[in-house]
Structure 1
């Protein structure tokens, strides 16, 4: 059934509110962050791409690195990832063992076609490469819980309808009792109203009151997410006199992101309620493209420098958001607006899914790096990266002309108020002994937030190590990467920041990758 006019108006009001601007600014960051990419070899080196070549990671890293290839190659990189989290909410820490399951994936596969060397030409050789790579993983999951003496989720609903001065007639229009498959609401307040969880105090409606605004609640919740940003990349490079290496690429990305969350208020000694449960599901699909230009210059056999400029990723994104509310009542009765006990007509109400489409311009990126080589004994390499998060942009054509412009302008302002341009650092080294390789690496990914209003530093530390074997016919590399960082999740917001709480999350994911390749 199509959305009624009042439901559409409610959706537009959500998408043009300050909360929505913050949401889409956060979404832009989520789809734009890149922590560590590449083959097992490059991940063991801390994700350094700027000034090293001769690896399949060069296809989507610094494409100039393809100019080092002297023969063709095929490689494949299976991996296992473990999302390890601890969540603290209202002073209670929960280790989410059930969500720490391992995830098998194929984050990298590539083929490189190298030309024969031209000994009589200054342009010595060239190579063309195609790769599939996982740029980002959204695997995560945690449980949380604690006793809240100050508020419940229903307070968020009350503040929303009272601030908007929503009328009873609007709430009734946002509900369809005869929808195919059962009754459905077109807004969360409409579901609460039909379940007698919020009641009007005037004939028009506002101000509304909660059926129970005083009882203490035990709050529990869960969050699980999955998906990835993956990319097909096509790159070409060559080298001039085995000194100057130049390459470019174009990448076609795909976004897949899904999360499911639950939130429960279990009422303690309430005269009306036993519980109110919230359920959310969110699905995102998107596609985009980007391009980059890279160069590496070899000063001598022991020292070389390189750098890459990567364009923003231009993406088109479609999302679907759905909710459901369930409640339990003392003895199956609830107090109605007139003060009398009634049997509520609904104990569960789904909210119709909301679709939204928008375009995202990601951050401009760049990096520079240097590598010191110790003949055939190994090398040290370092990279400095720039990420222009404050330049991200989000726009839509889904609303009215005025609504589209407001959404664009206000989301831009929120991005600039929330995020700063970041500088990241990477360091790695490789030791060689005949066919054996040993590697260590690390990276510091700086906090992209302009201010830490919740007191959480979101910078990330990555530590990696690996070993490998390389012969004239094949190579095999094994790498493990440990990452540690903090994040936060807020189940609901209220006007008074002292009345609600956020989940403080400690993330310590582990990724183990094997890259195998053959020369041809």
Structure 2
């Protein structure tokens, strides 16, 4: 067996574990969650799209809203996002903040001439670019761990799999172009004398130091977005019934880099072991939706949208490396004598993978009440079918492809639930001036909350605007708060390892400018 195939075989033997398939279930959610989108006006209203139109957000929201347009329009929206986090790990709190300038929305709408003698009064066609999700994030965590270190995770893995020494040696190439490379984390640990066999075959293995206390620190930085180009068409029947449809072409860009360090306290062998990870994802997909809005009377209208899942093709690359420091630059060798370790750092060969993803089915219904020309109040109830997400691949053997599809499906249905979200917003009008408030509650999609973390999101927004016969400008600030968690490694006994609890509080400030033509 060649070394590249050996490494992949080792990788996919790990993929049969629930923890690895949980990774792909989590990835499916990451690329499918939508918190709040649209122009500054619609974000100021809490992200309501269901039953109100005449805004460029209708192109990717409820396309029926394009039927309210009576003149063509161009809009552009720049924004600044400040991602603030507070992380708690092993009793220690750390704060982090980073900012990003981005373009969450741009659009153009073309309207037809009115048909005064026809029931079909007017139609409109719109094209928009929208930022559906932002992956901008970063945090640091750290604390003293008296119970375990990352090396314990490696030991449990090789002992549980009864990995032989010959397997570990096959997963290492000392003569690779560019220098030595491992095809698995355990192979790197073995070559660096961090784990050692106790039998001729290998298992059970023991850690070079499995007893010392460690000071653990970690960093995580991510960037990227899910963006979408949407093409929509809508019409207006008797100024009462508005019907529209759209098709969207999405692009996924996601990258993260993470580090994790065990700094050994009073160890006779080690000063530190560092883990490094880099993950890059690129993907493309498409979706479509149908929407309708019905004006019951001049004061009240209702609407709703049914959106298909997003069908995406995804390519990813995962890279790792390991580095270690030894007391006095020496390590205990197989014969019990101190030797100079042959390697103090080893890269893991990058793993490439391709798969397709089916996102959740979505829908919403809403209502809007108008107070003559003084403003309105609008609300939306949204549905997201997260338990229906699916993933499949043709990257492996036929049997492994089937196993991937089946096991990821099982992990998704065991991990996520379908959710219902709520949005409410209002606008006050005074001549050319506008003022808006909005809010949203995004339900936690996780079935199991045994870790004590409620991952639901609270969104609050406020905005102002000016609208004339020639142009309009809207300014909105949005504040979101939610919790998440990051676990650097897992062990069989959950009380021996820790998770970083992260409080996320991003702030988004955006300006939408538009001109009529």
TM-score w.r.t. the length of structure 2 is 0.99
Q: Give 2:32's aligned residue.
A: 32
> Following the alignment from structure 2 to structure 1, what is the Cα–Cα distance between the partners of residues 136 and 3?
33
The answer to whether the aligner puts 1:244 opposite 2:241 as a matched pair is yes
Q: Give 1:41's aligned residue.
A: 41
Q: Give 1:319's aligned residue.
A: 316
Q: Give 1:165's aligned residue.
A: 162
Select 1:358's aligned residue among 355, 361, 366. Answer: 355
> Following the alignment from structure 2 to structure 1, what is the Cα–Cα distance between the partners of residues 190 and 395?
28
Q: Give 1:59's aligned residue.
A: 59
Q: Give 1:397's aligned residue.
A: 394
Q: CA deviation at 1:410?
A: 1.0
Q: CA deviation at 1:399?
A: 1.3
Q: Give 2:435's aligned residue.
A: 438
> Following the alignment from structure 2 to structure 1, what is the Cα–Cα distance between the partners of residues 412 and 4?
32
Q: How does 1:4-23 map to 2 (within 5 A)?
A: 4-23=4-23
> Following the alignment from structure 2 to structure 1, what is the Cα–Cα distance between the partners of residues 423 and 29?
21
* Count, aligned residues: 516
Deviates more, 1:176-185 or 1:66-75: 176-185
Select 1:475's aligned residue among 463, 472, 477. Answer: 472
> Following the alignment from structure 2 to structure 1, what is the Cα–Cα distance between the partners of residues 466 and 3?
60
Select 2:494's aligned residue among 475, 497, 504. Answer: 497
Give the match's secondary structure for 1:33: coil
The answer to whether the aligner puts 1:277 opposite 2:274 as a matched pair is yes
Q: CA deviation at 1:342?
A: 1.2
Give the match's secondary structure for 1:346: coil
The answer to whether the aligner puts 1:310 opposite 2:284 as a matched pair is no
Q: Give 1:178's aligned residue.
A: 175
Q: CA deviation at 1:101?
A: 2.2
Q: How does 1:412-427 map to 2 (within 5 A)?
A: 412-427=409-424
> Following the alignment from structure 1 to structure 2, what is the Cα–Cα distance between the partners of residues 45 and 228?
23
Superposed CA offset, 1:357-385 (max 9, x none): 11100000000000000111000000000
The answer to whether the aligner puts 1:82 opposite 2:82 as a matched pair is yes
**8 A contact 1:12–1:399 mirrored in 2:** no
Q: CA deviation at 1:3?
A: 4.9
**8 A contact 1:141–1:224 mirrored in 2:** yes
Q: CA deviation at 1:337?
A: 2.7
TM-score w.r.t. the length of structure 1 is 0.99
**8 A contact 2:3–2:173 mirrored in 1:** no
**8 A contact 1:199–1:336 mirrored in 2:** no
> Following the alignment from structure 1 to structure 2, what is the Cα–Cα distance between the partners of residues 105 and 403?
40
Change (3 A) 1:3 1:235: farther
Q: Give 1:198's aligned residue.
A: 195
Select 1:217's aligned residue among 214, 222, 235. Answer: 214
Give the match's secondary structure for 2:8: helix
Superposed CA offset, 1:334-362 (max 9, x none): 11233221110000100010001111000
> Following the alignment from structure 1 to structure 2, what is the Cα–Cα distance between the partners of residues 338 and 516?
74
Q: How does 1:429-468 map to 2 (within 5 A)?
A: 429-468=426-465
Give the match's secondary structure for 1:5: helix
4+ runs deviating over 6 angstroms: none
The answer to whether the aligner puts 1:383 opposite 2:380 as a matched pair is yes
Change (3 A) 1:296 1:3: farther
Q: CA deviation at 1:396?
A: 0.8
> Following the alignment from structure 2 to structure 1, what is the Cα–Cα distance between the partners of residues 384 and 450?
22
> Following the alignment from structure 2 to structure 1, what is the Cα–Cα distance between the partners of residues 45 and 34?
16
Q: Give 2:332's aligned residue.
A: 335
Superposed CA offset, 1:386-441 (max 9, x none): 00000000111111111111111111111111100000000000000000000000
Give the match's secondary structure for 1:504: strand
Superposed CA offset, 1:87-143 (max 9, x none): 0000000112xxx12100001000000011100000000000000000000000000
> Following the alignment from structure 1 to structure 2, what is the Cα–Cα distance between the partners of residues 12 and 271?
36
Give the match's secondary structure for 2:368: strand
Q: CA deviation at 1:16?
A: 2.3
> Following the alignment from structure 1 to structure 2, what is the Cα–Cα distance between the partners of residues 85 and 308?
34
Q: CA deviation at 1:17?
A: 1.9
What 5-or-longer segments of structure 1 have no aligned partner?
Answer: none
Q: Give 1:292's aligned residue.
A: 289
> Following the alignment from structure 1 to structure 2, what is the Cα–Cα distance between the partners of residues 20 and 361?
19
> Following the alignment from structure 1 to structure 2, what is the Cα–Cα distance between the partners of residues 413 and 401?
19
Give the match's secondary structure for 1:101: strand
What 5-or-longer segments of structure 2 have no aligned partner?
Answer: none
> Following the alignment from structure 1 to structure 2, what is the Cα–Cα distance between the partners of residues 338 and 263?
31
Q: Give 2:68's aligned residue.
A: 68
Deviates more, 1:120-129 or 1:338-347: 338-347
Q: CA deviation at 1:7?
A: 0.9
